Amino acid sequence: GCVLVVSVIEQLAQWHNSTVKAAVERLCNYIPGKYQIICHMLCCIDREMNADVVCHSLKLCKQDPGQPLCHLYPPPKREKHSAGLFYALTHAGQKHQFISKSFTGFSNICAFPLLANLCEKIKYAIRNKLPFEDFDGDKFSTFPTLRGYHWRGRDCDDKNTTVYPGRRPDNWDVESDSNCNGIWGVDPKDGIPYEEKFCKGADSQGVVLLGDSAGAHFHIPPEWMTVTQMSAKSFANLPMAFTNELDWPQFSEITGFLNSTIGGWTDSLYLRLRRRNRCNHRDLQNISQNGGSSGNLLSLIKSLARNQLLDNPAIVIYATIGNDVCNGNRDTLAHMTTPKQMFSNVVQALRYLDSRLPNGSHVILTGLVDGRFLWDNLHDRYHPLGQLNRDVTYSQIYSFLDCLQVSPCSGWLTPNETLRNLTSERALQLSNVLKEIARSEKFANFDIFYMDFPLRQTAEEWHKMGGEPWQLIEPVDGFHPSQIAAALGTSITWQKALREWPQVLGKENPSNEQIEAIFKDQGGH
């Protein structure tokens, strides 16, 4: 974190030909409100030192005994000193000693008093995977972030526990809208409730994602670290991103519903199901977490909101596409999920779903990705941090994260081709486990399907549209699918479902136009 922020400050000073102090002020003015406290701590940086030297000398980065000294930039050159970084640190240490004390205890940004309260809310949302603001306790909210309606359909009465998206209508919603799809009341022409007229027998169903950071749509905006385009506008979305765990589920491949503001466009399984049947409005749940794997999904799944007796069936997408083989450990292979563990984890999750999902639901198991695509398409390109001076490639970023043992995927983000191949081999074995489960396991309340993660088809489709493969990867982390990849993936998944499992998608509702005409003012998300 320190190296990223100090790099941005030093590049701001360079780009605007200003002092570092002026660059800190500039950055602080860009950052909204209470978040400014983070950058006000960063005084006294010397423009002559690179970010590694500054952060080690401030004691925000440290070297553990017996561990390598991790650095992003090449060590400072000194003719007579092979250990340039050690030399620079010794000299910088004296200069920065007087301010390093002010950082003690602040290595975690939640220690800043102004952010402490917000951090507590975020921790609650992360710990429980439930909306922080949910007055009636039905797991749906009228607040967007902190696991609110960006993650699950918006509640339309947060004081009534029997009113929430996805339930079957109460008495055909004659008096009020019990399922928040905006359709309620009685047609004065014939006395038939609108919900009965338009939605009875229409195969209404929700969409639920059980997933990881790719499904939650992890994204760090590149404009946060591209100084040539940086302005106050660049950081306007910081509070929202922070309170959504740096995820953007509202634009995601399965449950996205808002127009993308982070490049590309939004297309999602939810939007397509809603277009097919307007009665499905707001019936979405994104139950994903950064770091989600078949193992930790077993606790995550408990935050599912579905009542077997009162609610509509759902299509559940099970998609942990990488974390069963991805970890930041030195001996990464030893920490990967084994096929036996995968089988056990997934079958346990499916048994839990069988006890919760209404009859007539569907589950789609998604295979793991082949992450060799990442190194192959990014390693020699410049990272957003390296574009100004052409000095930081993705290969350097990957090595830096690996050295710190915080790599999102030591097995794929590595120059070691053998290790990359072994990681893909394990991913394929785990995908085959999922395929076998879909073929052989049977459950009372849902049928079950398998599909490969459509990376190859996505890349081919994007190539036909004139795009480059690297544009399908998030630019800052160099690891997650980008907004373009998410939207194209939706289209490919939908076409496959139409061809091979049309029963999953339900039939087209002939009343869609009438519903839109009568309830157009109530169609908001």
Q: What angle do CA 445, 449, 453 make, to 5 degrees?
A: 140
Residues 435, 465 within the same domain: yes
* DSSP codes joined into one string, 476-511: TTSSSB-HHHHHHHHHHHHHHHHHH-HHHH----TT
Q: What is the pLDDT of residues 351-375, one digit of tens each?
A: 999 999 999 999 999 999 999 999 9
Do residue 423 and residue 518 come from a single domain? no
Closest CA to 359 of 312, 317, 305: 312
In 314-441, where does DSSP find H-type helix? 339-354, 372-378, 394-403, 417-440
* Averaged pLDDT, 45-66: 85
Same domain (yes/no): 212, 288: yes
Question: Which run of H or of E encompasses 314?
Answer: strand 314-319
Residue 343 has pLDDT above 60, yes or no: yes
Residue 479 within a domain: yes
Does the pLDDT value for residue 446 go beyond 90?
yes
More confident residue, 523 or 123: 123
Q: What is the mean pLDDT of residues 18-34?
A: 92
The DSSP output letter for 61 is: S
**Does the pLDDT of residue 142 top 70, yes or no?**
yes
pLDDT at 77: 72
Which pLDDT belongs to residue 82? 42
pLDDT of 492 over the 70 cut: yes
Which residues fall within 8 angstroms of residue 114, CB to CB, at 6 or more apart?
A: 34, 37
In this structure, the number of other CB atoms found within 10 A of the CB of residue 362 comes to: 23
Check whether residue 369 and residue 386 sit in a common domain. yes
pLDDT at residue 192 greater than cutoff 90: yes
- Give the C-alpha separation, 329 to 321, whole Å: 18
- Mean of pLDDT over the chain: 93
Q: Residue holding tokens 């080690």?
A: 56
**pLDDT at position 523:** 64
Which residue reads 């909306």 in tokens? 131
Residue written as token pair 């019936």 = 283
Whether residues 390 and 443 fall in one domain:
yes
Q: Are the CB atoms for 520 and 288 separated by under 8 Å?
A: no
List pLDDT tens digits, range 460-483: 999 999 999 999 999 999 999 999
Residue 37: per-residue pLDDT: 76
Q: Name which of 243, 251, 290 is nearest 148 in CA terms.
A: 243
User: Does residue 416 form part of some domain?
Assistant: yes
Looking at the domain assignment, is residue 240 inside a domain?
Answer: no
Is 89's pLDDT higher than 70?
Answer: no
Query: pLDDT per residue over 59-77, tens digit each?
Result: 888 888 998 999 999 887 7
Q: How confident is the model at residue 87 (pLDDT cuts 50, 70, 90)?
A: low
User: How many helices (H) and strands (E) in the chain?
Assistant: 19, 5
If one counts every other C-beta atom within 10 angstroms of the C-beta of residue 91, the result is 12
How many domains does the structure of the chain reveal?
3
Q: So what's the pLDDT on residue 57?
A: 87
- Which position has the higher pLDDT, 495 or 115? 495
Please check whether residue 205 is in contact with residue 273, taking contact to mean a CB–CB distance below 8 angstroms. Answer: yes
What's the pLDDT band for 94 if we cut at 50, 70, 90?
low
DSSP β-ladder status, 206-211 and 284-288: parallel
Residues 497 and 276: beta-carbon distance below 8 Å: no
* 139, part of any domain: no
d(CA 299, CA 184) in angstroms, rounded, equals: 36
Position 73 scores a pLDDT of 94
Check pLDDT > 70 for residue 388.
Answer: yes
Q: How much is the pLDDT for 91?
A: 65
The CA-to-CA distance between both ends of the chain, in Å, stands at: 35
Catalytic, out of 213, 268, 293, 511: 213
- Taking the C-alpha atoms of residue 128 and residue 300, their distance in angstroms, rounded to an integer, is 8
Q: Which region among 41-55, 362-376, 394-408, 444-458 has the lowest average model confidence (pLDDT)?
A: 41-55
Quick one: 333 and 442 in the same domain? yes
Are both 371 and 517 inside the same structural domain?
no
Which DSSP symbol is given to 488? H
289 with 244: CB under 8 angstroms? Answer: no
| 15 and 227 Cβ atoms separated by less than 8 Å | yes
Q: What is the pLDDT of residues 95-126, one digit of tens each?
A: 554 444 444 444 567 877 778 899 999 999 99
Within this chain, do residues 285 and 181 fall inside the same structural domain, yes or no?
Answer: no
Quick one: tokens of 489?
A: 């993936």
pLDDT at 75: 84
Q: What's the pLDDT score for residue 85? A: 65
Q: What is the DSSP code string of 404-444?
A: TT--S-TTTSSS-HHHHHHHHHHHHHHHHHHHHHHHH---S
How remote is the C-alpha of 121 from its chain's centroid?
19
Checking if the pLDDT of 34 tops 90, the result is no
Q: Is position 395 annotated as part of the catalytic site?
A: no
Instruction: Say whether both 455 and 520 belong to one domain.
Output: no
Residue 48's domain comprises: 1-75+82-107
Structure tokens at 280: 């499905």
On whether both 368 and 416 belong to a single domain, the answer is yes
CATH code of residue 405: 3.40.50.1110
Is 155 part of any domain?
no
- The predicted structure's pLDDT at residue 48: 73
Tokens read off for 177: 């809208």
pLDDT of residue 8: 95
Q: For residues 212 and 313, state if they share a domain.
A: yes
When mean pLDDT is compared across 35-39, 180-184, 335-339, 398-402, the lowest value belongs to: 35-39
How many Å apart are CA 49 and CA 47, to the nearest integer? 5
- Mean pLDDT over 165-182 rounds to 98
pLDDT recorded at residue 99: 44
Residues 405 and 518 in one domain: no
Q: Is residue 131 part of a domain?
A: no
Examine residue 128 and state whether it is found in any structural domain, yes or no: no
Average pLDDT, integer, range 52-59: 89
pLDDT, tens digit, 9 for 90 and up, residues 293-322: 999 999 999 999 999 999 999 999 999 999
